[in-house]
Structure 1
Amino acid sequence: MPGESRRTDPIRPADEEARTLARKLLEHARHGALGVIDPQSAAPFVTRIAVARDADGTPLTLISALAQHTAALRSDPRASLLLGEPGPRGDPLTHPRITLAATARFLPRPSAEHDAARARYLAQQPKAKLYIDFADFSLVRLEVCSAFLNAGFGKAYALTPADLGLGGGG
Protein backbone atom coordinates (compact mmCIF):
# COMPACT_ATOMS: atom_id res chain seq x y z
CA MET A 1 0.00 0.00 0.00
CA PRO A 2 1.18 3.54 -0.68
CA GLY A 3 2.88 5.17 2.29
CA GLU A 4 3.27 1.89 4.14
CA SER A 5 6.84 0.93 5.00
CA ARG A 6 7.92 -2.65 4.56
CA ARG A 7 9.78 -4.03 7.51
CA THR A 8 12.33 -6.65 6.62
CA ASP A 9 13.15 -9.45 9.00
CA PRO A 10 16.53 -8.62 10.58
CA ILE A 11 17.19 -12.29 11.36
CA ARG A 12 19.35 -13.93 8.70
CA PRO A 13 19.16 -17.61 7.78
CA ALA A 14 21.84 -19.66 9.52
CA ASP A 15 24.88 -20.20 7.34
CA GLU A 16 28.19 -21.96 7.90
CA GLU A 17 29.94 -18.76 9.03
CA ALA A 18 27.26 -18.18 11.70
CA ARG A 19 27.36 -21.83 12.83
CA THR A 20 31.16 -21.72 13.13
CA LEU A 21 31.12 -18.50 15.15
CA ALA A 22 28.35 -19.81 17.43
CA ARG A 23 30.25 -23.06 18.08
CA LYS A 24 33.42 -21.08 18.81
CA LEU A 25 31.61 -18.88 21.35
CA LEU A 26 30.20 -21.98 23.04
CA GLU A 27 33.53 -23.82 23.01
CA HIS A 28 35.59 -20.98 24.45
CA ALA A 29 33.17 -19.73 27.11
CA ARG A 30 34.36 -20.08 30.71
CA HIS A 31 31.54 -18.03 32.22
CA GLY A 32 28.25 -16.51 31.17
CA ALA A 33 25.16 -14.68 32.36
CA LEU A 34 22.37 -17.02 33.42
CA GLY A 35 18.81 -15.74 33.31
CA VAL A 36 16.08 -17.44 35.35
CA ILE A 37 12.64 -16.58 36.72
CA ASP A 38 12.72 -15.88 40.46
CA PRO A 39 9.95 -18.04 41.98
CA GLN A 40 9.16 -15.54 44.74
CA SER A 41 8.82 -12.39 42.67
CA ALA A 42 8.16 -14.00 39.25
CA ALA A 43 10.67 -11.46 37.93
CA PRO A 44 13.68 -12.20 35.73
CA PHE A 45 16.93 -12.70 37.63
CA VAL A 46 20.39 -12.76 36.02
CA THR A 47 23.65 -13.92 37.55
CA ARG A 48 27.15 -14.81 36.40
CA ILE A 49 28.04 -18.50 36.37
CA ALA A 50 31.05 -20.59 35.40
CA VAL A 51 30.44 -22.86 32.42
CA ALA A 52 32.03 -25.92 30.90
CA ARG A 53 30.90 -28.32 28.19
CA ASP A 54 29.63 -31.85 28.55
CA ALA A 55 30.81 -34.60 26.19
CA ASP A 56 28.24 -33.61 23.56
CA GLY A 57 29.01 -29.87 23.89
CA THR A 58 26.01 -29.05 26.09
CA PRO A 59 26.81 -26.30 28.60
CA LEU A 60 27.40 -27.49 32.17
CA THR A 61 27.48 -25.42 35.31
CA LEU A 62 28.08 -26.09 38.99
CA ILE A 63 25.75 -24.31 41.41
CA SER A 64 25.19 -24.19 45.14
CA ALA A 65 21.84 -24.85 46.78
CA LEU A 66 22.45 -21.56 48.62
CA ALA A 67 22.28 -19.56 45.37
CA GLN A 68 19.08 -17.77 44.39
CA HIS A 69 19.29 -19.11 40.84
CA THR A 70 19.34 -22.72 42.10
CA ALA A 71 15.92 -22.32 43.74
CA ALA A 72 14.68 -20.65 40.57
CA LEU A 73 15.86 -23.51 38.35
CA ARG A 74 14.37 -26.11 40.67
CA SER A 75 11.05 -24.26 40.50
CA ASP A 76 11.15 -23.57 36.75
CA PRO A 77 13.95 -25.20 34.73
CA ARG A 78 13.66 -22.75 31.83
CA ALA A 79 16.79 -20.62 31.53
CA SER A 80 18.70 -18.33 29.24
CA LEU A 81 22.49 -18.27 28.99
CA LEU A 82 24.40 -15.37 27.40
CA LEU A 83 27.95 -16.18 26.25
CA GLY A 84 30.54 -13.92 24.64
CA GLU A 85 32.67 -11.13 25.99
CA PRO A 86 33.32 -7.68 24.60
CA GLY A 87 36.82 -7.20 23.25
CA PRO A 88 39.36 -4.85 24.81
CA ARG A 89 38.43 -2.00 22.46
CA GLY A 90 35.51 -0.58 20.63
CA ASP A 91 31.80 -0.62 21.21
CA PRO A 92 30.82 -3.71 23.27
CA LEU A 93 27.73 -4.12 21.10
CA THR A 94 29.84 -4.85 18.02
CA HIS A 95 31.37 -7.99 19.56
CA PRO A 96 29.72 -11.36 18.95
CA ARG A 97 27.57 -13.02 21.57
CA ILE A 98 25.10 -15.86 21.72
CA THR A 99 21.98 -16.32 23.83
CA LEU A 100 20.93 -19.90 24.49
CA ALA A 101 17.38 -20.81 25.53
CA ALA A 102 17.76 -23.93 27.63
CA THR A 103 16.18 -26.32 30.07
CA ALA A 104 18.19 -26.99 33.23
CA ARG A 105 18.61 -30.60 34.26
CA PHE A 106 20.25 -31.37 37.61
CA LEU A 107 22.50 -34.43 37.37
CA PRO A 108 21.72 -37.01 40.05
CA ARG A 109 24.48 -37.87 42.46
CA PRO A 110 25.70 -40.56 42.64
CA SER A 111 25.46 -41.66 39.02
CA ALA A 112 27.77 -42.54 36.16
CA GLU A 113 26.48 -39.48 34.27
CA HIS A 114 27.37 -37.21 37.21
CA ASP A 115 30.83 -38.73 37.59
CA ALA A 116 31.61 -38.30 33.88
CA ALA A 117 30.31 -34.70 33.89
CA ARG A 118 32.30 -34.00 37.07
CA ALA A 119 35.52 -35.09 35.36
CA ARG A 120 34.78 -32.96 32.28
CA TYR A 121 33.83 -29.95 34.42
CA LEU A 122 37.05 -30.16 36.44
CA ALA A 123 39.14 -30.52 33.28
CA GLN A 124 37.72 -27.17 32.11
CA GLN A 125 37.28 -25.43 35.48
CA PRO A 126 40.10 -26.90 37.65
CA LYS A 127 39.67 -24.39 40.51
CA ALA A 128 36.24 -25.93 41.18
CA LYS A 129 38.07 -28.91 42.73
CA LEU A 130 37.95 -26.95 46.00
CA TYR A 131 34.14 -27.18 46.26
CA ILE A 132 32.69 -29.49 43.58
CA ASP A 133 32.14 -32.29 46.10
CA PHE A 134 30.42 -30.15 48.74
CA ALA A 135 26.97 -31.60 49.47
CA ASP A 136 25.15 -28.40 48.51
CA PHE A 137 26.69 -28.23 45.00
CA SER A 138 25.01 -29.70 41.93
CA LEU A 139 26.12 -30.14 38.35
CA VAL A 140 23.49 -28.87 35.94
CA ARG A 141 23.22 -29.46 32.20
CA LEU A 142 21.72 -26.52 30.32
CA GLU A 143 20.05 -28.44 27.49
CA VAL A 144 19.73 -26.03 24.59
CA CYS A 145 16.32 -25.58 22.93
CA SER A 146 17.25 -22.71 20.61
CA ALA A 147 19.87 -20.02 20.19
CA PHE A 148 20.20 -16.46 18.95
CA LEU A 149 23.56 -15.30 17.62
CA ASN A 150 24.35 -11.61 17.41
CA ALA A 151 27.52 -11.47 15.33
CA GLY A 152 27.66 -7.66 15.39
CA PHE A 153 25.47 -4.89 13.99
CA GLY A 154 23.17 -6.21 11.28
CA LYS A 155 24.28 -9.81 11.76
CA ALA A 156 21.61 -11.71 13.72
CA TYR A 157 20.84 -15.41 13.35
CA ALA A 158 18.34 -17.84 14.87
CA LEU A 159 20.06 -21.20 15.43
CA THR A 160 19.01 -24.69 16.42
CA PRO A 161 20.84 -27.16 18.69
CA ALA A 162 21.91 -28.98 15.51
CA ASP A 163 23.45 -25.73 14.19
CA LEU A 164 25.54 -25.68 17.37
CA GLY A 165 26.58 -29.31 16.93
CA LEU A 166 24.49 -30.38 19.92
CA GLY A 167 22.12 -32.65 18.00
CA GLY A 168 19.09 -32.04 20.21
CA GLY A 169 18.06 -30.41 23.39
CA GLY A 170 15.43 -30.11 26.05
Structure 2
Amino acid sequence: MPANDPFLPADETARTLARDLIRDARFAALGGLAQGAPFVTRIALVRGPDGVPLTLVSDLAPHTAALRADPRCSVLVGEPGEKGDPLTHPRLTLQARAAFVARDGAEYAALRDHYLAQQPKAQLYIDFADFHLVRLMPEAGHLNGGFGRAWRLTAADLGQP
Protein backbone atom coordinates (compact mmCIF):
# COMPACT_ATOMS: atom_id res chain seq x y z
CA MET A 1 0.00 0.00 0.00
CA PRO A 2 1.36 3.45 -0.84
CA ALA A 3 2.43 5.60 2.11
CA ASN A 4 -0.23 8.20 1.23
CA ASP A 5 -3.05 5.64 0.96
CA PRO A 6 -6.01 7.20 2.83
CA PHE A 7 -7.63 3.84 3.61
CA LEU A 8 -7.31 2.17 7.01
CA PRO A 9 -6.85 -1.59 7.33
CA ALA A 10 -10.21 -3.33 7.65
CA ASP A 11 -11.06 -4.08 11.26
CA GLU A 12 -14.10 -5.23 13.21
CA THR A 13 -15.35 -1.63 13.55
CA ALA A 14 -15.38 -1.25 9.76
CA ARG A 15 -16.92 -4.68 9.15
CA THR A 16 -19.71 -4.02 11.65
CA LEU A 17 -20.44 -0.54 10.29
CA ALA A 18 -20.57 -1.87 6.71
CA ARG A 19 -22.94 -4.70 7.64
CA ASP A 20 -25.12 -2.27 9.61
CA LEU A 21 -25.37 0.08 6.62
CA ILE A 22 -26.49 -2.81 4.41
CA ARG A 23 -28.93 -4.07 7.06
CA ASP A 24 -30.53 -0.65 7.55
CA ALA A 25 -30.79 0.30 3.87
CA ARG A 26 -34.28 0.44 2.37
CA PHE A 27 -33.06 1.99 -0.86
CA ALA A 28 -29.74 2.57 -2.58
CA ALA A 29 -28.09 4.15 -5.59
CA LEU A 30 -27.24 1.54 -8.21
CA GLY A 31 -24.64 2.26 -10.88
CA GLY A 32 -23.93 0.24 -13.98
CA LEU A 33 -23.05 0.67 -17.62
CA ALA A 34 -25.91 1.40 -20.01
CA GLN A 35 -25.02 1.67 -23.66
CA GLY A 36 -21.36 2.16 -22.75
CA ALA A 37 -21.89 5.04 -20.32
CA PRO A 38 -22.27 5.17 -16.53
CA PHE A 39 -25.89 5.03 -15.41
CA VAL A 40 -27.06 5.56 -11.82
CA THR A 41 -30.56 5.07 -10.47
CA ARG A 42 -32.34 4.62 -7.17
CA ILE A 43 -33.52 1.15 -6.21
CA ALA A 44 -35.42 -0.40 -3.32
CA LEU A 45 -33.08 -2.61 -1.34
CA VAL A 46 -33.21 -5.16 1.46
CA ARG A 47 -30.53 -7.20 3.18
CA GLY A 48 -31.11 -10.79 2.14
CA PRO A 49 -31.25 -13.56 4.73
CA ASP A 50 -27.59 -14.34 4.00
CA GLY A 51 -26.53 -10.67 4.17
CA VAL A 52 -26.39 -10.18 0.40
CA PRO A 53 -28.24 -7.05 -0.79
CA LEU A 54 -31.42 -7.92 -2.69
CA THR A 55 -33.47 -5.76 -5.03
CA LEU A 56 -36.42 -6.05 -7.40
CA VAL A 57 -36.09 -4.72 -10.95
CA SER A 58 -38.37 -4.40 -13.96
CA ASP A 59 -37.57 -5.16 -17.59
CA LEU A 60 -38.95 -1.69 -18.36
CA ALA A 61 -36.04 -0.04 -16.49
CA PRO A 62 -32.79 0.77 -18.31
CA HIS A 63 -30.73 -0.54 -15.39
CA THR A 64 -32.22 -4.02 -15.81
CA ALA A 65 -30.97 -4.29 -19.40
CA ALA A 66 -27.63 -2.86 -18.28
CA LEU A 67 -27.25 -5.50 -15.55
CA ARG A 68 -28.16 -8.29 -17.94
CA ALA A 69 -25.57 -7.07 -20.44
CA ASP A 70 -22.86 -6.55 -17.82
CA PRO A 71 -23.57 -7.71 -14.26
CA ARG A 72 -20.78 -5.59 -12.77
CA CYS A 73 -22.31 -2.80 -10.74
CA SER A 74 -21.84 -0.45 -7.84
CA VAL A 75 -24.24 0.09 -4.95
CA LEU A 76 -24.16 3.07 -2.58
CA VAL A 77 -25.91 2.79 0.80
CA GLY A 78 -25.98 5.17 3.74
CA GLU A 79 -27.92 8.37 4.06
CA PRO A 80 -26.95 11.67 5.69
CA GLY A 81 -28.54 12.46 9.00
CA GLU A 82 -30.92 15.34 9.57
CA LYS A 83 -28.20 17.60 10.93
CA GLY A 84 -24.62 18.42 10.08
CA ASP A 85 -22.49 18.07 7.00
CA PRO A 86 -23.73 15.19 4.81
CA LEU A 87 -20.12 14.15 4.17
CA THR A 88 -19.59 13.31 7.85
CA HIS A 89 -22.20 10.52 7.80
CA PRO A 90 -21.17 6.93 7.02
CA ARG A 91 -21.70 5.46 3.58
CA LEU A 92 -20.64 2.29 1.82
CA THR A 93 -19.93 1.77 -1.84
CA LEU A 94 -20.08 -1.87 -2.89
CA GLN A 95 -18.50 -3.21 -6.03
CA ALA A 96 -20.84 -6.05 -6.83
CA ARG A 97 -22.08 -8.49 -9.44
CA ALA A 98 -25.80 -8.75 -10.19
CA ALA A 99 -27.21 -12.27 -10.02
CA PHE A 100 -30.79 -12.63 -11.28
CA VAL A 101 -32.80 -15.13 -9.21
CA ALA A 102 -34.62 -17.66 -11.38
CA ARG A 103 -38.35 -17.82 -10.59
CA ASP A 104 -38.23 -21.60 -10.84
CA GLY A 105 -35.12 -21.83 -8.66
CA ALA A 106 -35.05 -23.37 -5.20
CA GLU A 107 -34.36 -20.06 -3.42
CA TYR A 108 -36.91 -17.86 -5.20
CA ALA A 109 -39.94 -18.37 -2.93
CA ALA A 110 -37.96 -17.75 0.27
CA LEU A 111 -36.25 -14.65 -1.18
CA ARG A 112 -39.60 -13.34 -2.46
CA ASP A 113 -41.17 -13.71 0.99
CA HIS A 114 -38.12 -12.14 2.66
CA TYR A 115 -38.19 -9.19 0.25
CA LEU A 116 -41.91 -8.61 0.80
CA ALA A 117 -41.51 -8.73 4.58
CA GLN A 118 -39.22 -5.69 4.30
CA GLN A 119 -40.77 -3.98 1.27
CA PRO A 120 -44.50 -4.83 1.60
CA LYS A 121 -45.68 -2.33 -1.04
CA ALA A 122 -43.89 -4.45 -3.66
CA GLN A 123 -46.74 -6.97 -3.24
CA LEU A 124 -48.56 -4.88 -5.86
CA TYR A 125 -46.10 -5.80 -8.64
CA ILE A 126 -43.57 -8.44 -7.54
CA ASP A 127 -45.43 -11.20 -9.39
CA PHE A 128 -45.65 -9.33 -12.71
CA ALA A 129 -43.72 -11.24 -15.38
CA ASP A 130 -41.37 -8.32 -16.05
CA PHE A 131 -40.15 -8.05 -12.42
CA HIS A 132 -37.10 -9.94 -11.20
CA LEU A 133 -35.33 -10.39 -7.89
CA VAL A 134 -31.62 -9.64 -8.15
CA ARG A 135 -28.95 -10.47 -5.61
CA LEU A 136 -26.14 -7.88 -5.61
CA MET A 137 -23.15 -10.06 -4.74
CA PRO A 138 -20.47 -7.89 -3.08
CA GLU A 139 -16.95 -8.33 -4.38
CA ALA A 140 -15.35 -5.39 -2.55
CA GLY A 141 -16.35 -2.31 -0.63
CA HIS A 142 -15.20 1.20 0.16
CA LEU A 143 -16.49 2.39 3.51
CA ASN A 144 -16.39 6.05 4.43
CA GLY A 145 -17.17 6.53 8.10
CA GLY A 146 -16.76 10.31 7.92
CA PHE A 147 -13.74 12.55 7.49
CA GLY A 148 -10.49 10.65 8.05
CA ARG A 149 -12.25 7.29 8.50
CA ALA A 150 -12.16 5.22 5.31
CA TRP A 151 -11.60 1.51 4.78
CA ARG A 152 -11.19 -0.87 1.85
CA LEU A 153 -13.20 -4.04 2.43
CA THR A 154 -13.08 -7.45 0.79
CA ALA A 155 -16.00 -9.76 0.13
CA ALA A 156 -14.91 -11.70 3.24
CA ASP A 157 -15.01 -8.48 5.33
CA LEU A 158 -18.59 -8.03 4.17
CA GLY A 159 -19.49 -11.55 5.26
CA GLN A 160 -19.39 -12.99 1.75
CA PRO A 161 -17.51 -16.11 0.63
Give the 5 Å matches for 1:1-150.
Answer: 8-38=4-34, 40=35, 42-150=36-144
Q: Give the paired residue count.
A: 160
What is the root-mean-square deviation of aligned Cα atoms in Å? 1.2
Q: Is contact 2:138-2:158 (8 Å) kept? A: no
Deviation (angstroms), 1:111: 2.1
Normalised by the length of structure 1, the TM-score is 0.91
Deviations 1:7-47 (A, max 9, x none): 52101001111111111101100000000001x2x110000
What amino acid sits opposite 2:13 in the alignment? E
Tell me which residue corresponds to 2:157: 163
Helix, strand or coil at the partner of 2:107: helix
Q: Is contact 1:53-1:120 (8 Å) kept? A: no
For 1:128 and 1:71, how far apart are their aligned partners in 2? 20
| Alignment gaps of 5+ in structure 1 | 1-5
Report the CA distance shift for 1:104/1:26 in structure 2 as closer, same or farther (over 3 A).
Answer: same
For 2:139 and 2:3, how far apart are their aligned partners in 1? 27
Q: Is contact 1:50-1:61 (8 Å) kept? A: yes
Report the CA distance shift for 1:56/1:14 in structure 2 as closer, same or farther (over 3 A).
Answer: same
For 1:152 and 1:29, how far apart are their aligned partners in 2? 18
Helix, strand or coil at the partner of 1:165: coil
Deviation (angstroms), 1:73: 0.3
For the pair shown, which has the larger CA radius of gyration, 1 or 2?
Answer: 1
